[in-house]
Amino acid sequence: MWQVIGQPKIIRLFERGLRAGTLAHAYLLVGPPHVGKGTFAINLAQALNCTGSDPPCGQCPSCRRIAEGKHADVRSIRLSAGEGNGRAQHEISTEDIKEIQYSASLPPYEGRFRVFIIDGAENMSAEASNRILKVLEEPSPSVVWLLLVVEETRLLPTVVSRCQRVELRPAPVPEVAGLLQERYGVEAAKAGLLARLSGGRTGWAVSAASDSRLMEDRARTLETLVSLLGADLNDRLQYAAELARTVEKDRRAGAEVLRTWLGFWRDVLLVKNGCAGDAVNIDCMDTLNKLASSATLTEIKAALDRLNDTLSQIARNVSAQLALEVLLLNMPTHRLPSPSTTEGEAAKVPDRGSSLSERK
């Protein structure tokens, strides 16, 4: 069965294509980080090589070997986060592509299709992109390319034009909560909190359920934001420099801090407008309520605009330090107690239209 949730239309489209044998030789899977692009790509590789009666069955030797990353015909490349030498990789290099380019010229070794997954294809160097373009221009009937991208505008337009574009949207929050409870045994209140925080990005929710560091990082990020709101200019500038160093080492990690702040300010806006039930950071409602009553609507909107501007500047490689200094120096001043991000507080959340607990 397909492991990816919240994408019924896309699954139907691919099931039809698989039955009729009309799948394209290259797909651009577009969507926000952790929305399920990787899971979908693996499922599709399984479906293409499945020997069971209902592909992707997940049970046949081929499906299992693909899930375990052991199938000779399914290769995945992505940026390394620097596990080996401590330095994060910024580009998918020519060397990375050269090797799979050679494999793509060979017939499948153990399955029906060779499947190449390039996760974060927008990070290919110019030369790597040109190599990919070359293989896409000369498609082989037994090779399928899956390019996974968050920011498709950073890809060569010629690469985009040779792929069929498929957009994965965030899954409905109740479906993510249901998945966490049913498939991963997460208790209801925590599943509800993680599903809301994920914004429908299933991969993030599943990672956060199994790796407590993600929630600890988020708690620290929110504590930092609240302490900066009460901090003087010196402390703000010092933090801007610290975050700029993070961005330089790992742009995604730096952007994640700003996205967490953005989510928090969105909640402040919701609370200010009387829509507290739609907030996602439901484990720190006390802080949200205090900030919403202390900040003006103009301040909240300006904070959201500046965060969005800073995120797009960082994506465009504008000087991170300058962008972050402007952001932090313009942040309004509000002295608040540190947020207590305890999952137990999820129970205190006000009712919302489609309550997570209603789903069974």
- The strand pair at 26-30 and 143-149 is best described as parallel
Distance CA 141, CA 306 (A): 48
Compute how many residues bind Zn ion; rule: CB under 5 A. Answer: 5
Q: Is 232 helix (H, G, I), strand (E, B) or coil?
A: coil
Shorter beta-carbon distance to Zn ion: residue 49 or 181:
49
Query: Which amino acid is residue 8, in one-letter code?
Result: P
Compare residues 52 and 203 and give the one whose CB is closer to Zn ion: 52
**Count of H-run helices and E-run strands, the chain:** 15, 5
Least separation in angstroms between residue 4's CB and Zn ion is 16
Which tokens sit at 265? Answer: 């300010």
Instruction: Find the shortest distance in angstroms from Cβ 64 to Zn ion.
Output: 8
356 binds Zn ion (CB under 5 A): no
From candidates 18, 24, 60, 336, binder to Zn ion by CB under 5 A:
60
Furthest CA-CA distance within the chain = 65
Site for Zn ion contains 50 (CB under 5 A): yes
332 near Zn ion, judged by CB under 5 A: no
Question: Rule CB under 5 A: is residue 18 a binding residue for Zn ion?
Answer: no
Stretch that binds Zn ion, among 23-31, 42-50, 189-197, 312-320 (CB under 5 A): 42-50
57 near Zn ion, judged by CB under 5 A: yes
Q: Which of 28, 30, 32, 36 is nearest to 7 (CA)?
A: 36
CA distances from residue 335 to 58, 67, 262, 287, 294 in whole angstroms, order as listed: 53, 49, 19, 11, 9
H or E segment and range at residue 356: none
Minimum Å distance from CB 42 to Zn ion?
A: 12
- Residue 52 touches Zn ion, criterion: CB under 5 A: yes
Nearer of residues 117 and 311 to Zn ion, judged by Cβ: 117
**Smallest distance from Zn ion to CB 45, Å:** 11
Residue 64 binds Zn ion, judged by CB under 5 A: no
214 lies in the site for Zn ion, by CB under 5 A: no
67 binds Zn ion (CB under 5 A): no
Q: Residue 333 in contact with residue 229, Cβ under 8 Å?
A: yes
Binding site residues, Zn ion, CB under 5 A: 50, 52, 57, 60, 63
